[in-house]
Amino acid sequence: MNQDNKEYCESNLFNGLNGHSLISPIESVSNLVEPKIRLGILASGNGSNFEFIIKSIQNNELNAEVSILIVNNPSCLAIEKAIKYDIPYVIINHRDCNSRLEHDKLVMNKLEELSVELVVMAGWMRIVGEEIINKFNNRLINIHPSLLPSFKGIDAIQQAMDKRVTITGCTVHYVQKDVDSGSIIIQAAVPLKEKDSIETLKKRIQDMEHIILPLAIAKVAIEIRTSFKDKK
Ligand code: GRF
């Protein structure tokens, strides 16, 4: 190995991501879609992604407004965040519905009533039916904690650890009928560390989720506005 190669290898190649994360290249995203895009956020859990969407709006990184947070789980922490940031929210508990379709329709009606343009599943632990998918075609996105198409479904982080992959990550994608299968919008790669536990890895993946989800929203918002213009 000559000196140049040796230096290259030492500086780059063998260091891999050097413990850092990597975001997939996306065309420069302008946050200046006008007027603000109206978001509907669906959440079932802690709502950390929901909170980072709000922060991106507050920091002028995203020209959007959250028209509504919809939760299906009355005890989820996302509700506290909605109260903290004064965002309207509604609990539509699937346990009060007789069927998935009935629940989906209630969710869809609420989104339509508020003229939501883009629906973001930010930790929504429910499969959505075709009615919603068709209604919000190319306007319904989800965040998933793996580098899709690997490790679909629940426990994606554990699945990746069990397979002893060396790099995993997170993906924002359009929602299609098959779970975690729609076109990919943006991804972030997160290397595993030898001493990772599920908690440490989850934390690093979530840190990247909080970055890529607002970027994906900005990107899709531009696409929505462009396709609207095209139709005029
Ligand atoms: C995230 O890890 C997301 O990838 C998955 O659910 C989790 C939601 O976390 N779909 P939070 O409720 O946003 O904190």
Which residue from 69, 70, 68, 62 is spatially nearest to 36, judged by alpha carbons? 62
Q: Which of 148, 179, 206 to mutate to test the pocket of ligand 1 (most atoms within 8 A of CB)?
A: 206
- Shortest-distance atom of ligand 1 to CA 47: 12
The predicted model scores a pTM of 0.90
| Largest pairwise CA distance in the chain | 71
Q: Which residues contact 52 (CB under 8 A, 6 or more apart)?
A: 209, 210, 213, 214
For residue 221, give the H/E element and its range: helix 198-231
Which atom of ligand 1 is the closest one to the Cα of 122? 13
| Interval between CA 231 and ligand 1 midpoint (Å) | 34
* 122 Cα–ligand 1 center, Å: 6
**pLDDT in 10s for each residue of the chain, 232 residues:** 445 544 544 444 445 566 777 898 877 666 567 889 999 999 999 999 999 999 999 999 999 999 999 999 999 999 999 999 999 999 999 999 999 999 999 999 999 999 999 999 999 999 999 999 999 999 999 999 999 999 999 999 999 999 999 999 999 999 999 999 999 999 999 999 989 999 999 999 999 999 999 999 999 999 998 876 555 4
Helices (H), 35-113: 48-58, 78-84, 100-113
In a mutational test of the pocket of ligand 1, which residue from 143, 157, 199 has the highest number of ligand atoms less than 8 Å from its CB? 143
Q: Kindly state if the Cβ of 145 falls inside 6 Å of ligand 1.
A: yes
Among 208, 214, 227, 145, CA closest to 180: 145
Cβ atoms of residues 177 and 133 within 8 Å: yes
Q: Is 94 considered catalytic here?
A: no
Measure the CA–CA gap between 192 and 85, rounded to whole angstroms. 34
Q: Is 209 in the pocket of ligand 1 (CB under 6 A)?
A: yes
| Residues 169/189, Cβ–Cβ less than 8 Å | yes
